[in-house]
Structure 1
Amino acid sequence: MCAPTGFSVGGVPAPVTDLRTHPVPDAVDAEAWALRVTGAVDRSLRLSAAALESFPLETVTDDFACAEGWVADGLAWRGIRVGDILERAGPSAEAEYALVRAMDGDYACSFPLEALSDAILAVELDGEPLPVDHGGPARLVPTGPDRDCWTSVKWVSEIRIGETPFSDADTAKETALSRLE
Structure 2
Amino acid sequence: MSGLEVHDVPDGVDPDAWHLDVTGAVASELTFDREDLRALPVETFTADFTCVEGWVAEDLSWRGVRVGDVLDRAAPTAAASHALVHAMDGEYACSFPLNDLADAVLALELDGAALPVEHGGPARLVPTGEADCWESVKWVAELTVTESAPEDADTAESIALSRVG
TM over 0.5: yes
Unaligned runs of 5+ in 1: 1-16
One-letter identity of the residue aligned with 2:53: E
SS in 1 for 2:80: coil
Task: Choose which of 151, 155, 160 in structure 2 pairs with 1:167.
Answer: 151
Aligned to 2:9: 24
2:143 matched to 1:180?
no
Aligned to 1:11: none
Please state how far the C-alpha of 1:99 moved relative to its aligned partner.
0.3
C-alpha distance in structure 1 between counterparts of 2:139 and 2:35, whole Å: 16
Aligned to 2:138: 154
Please state how far the C-alpha of 1:19 moved relative to its aligned partner.
0.5
Unaligned runs of 5+ in 2: none
Task: Choose which of 41, 47, 58 in structure 2 pairs with 1:73.
Answer: 58
Please state how far the C-alpha of 1:60 moved relative to its aligned partner.
1.5
SS in 2 for 1:116: helix
Number of aligned residue pairs: 164
Which ranges of 4 or more aligned residues in structure 1 deviate by more than 3 Å?
none
Aligned to 2:114: 129
5 Å matches for 1:9-158? 18-145=3-130, 147-158=131-142
One-letter identity of the residue aligned with 2:43: E
Identity of aligned pairs, percent? 60
- Please say which structure displays the higher CA radius of gyration: 1
- TM-score in terms of structure 1 length: 0.89
SS in 1 for 2:21: strand
Please state how far the C-alpha of 1:180 moved relative to its aligned partner.
1.5
One-letter identity of the residue aligned with 1:49: R
C-alpha distance in structure 2 between counterparts of 1:87 and 1:93, whole Å: 12
- TM-score in terms of structure 2 length: 0.97
One-letter identity of the residue aligned with 1:50: E
C-alpha distance in structure 2 between counterparts of 1:45 and 1:171, whole Å: 22
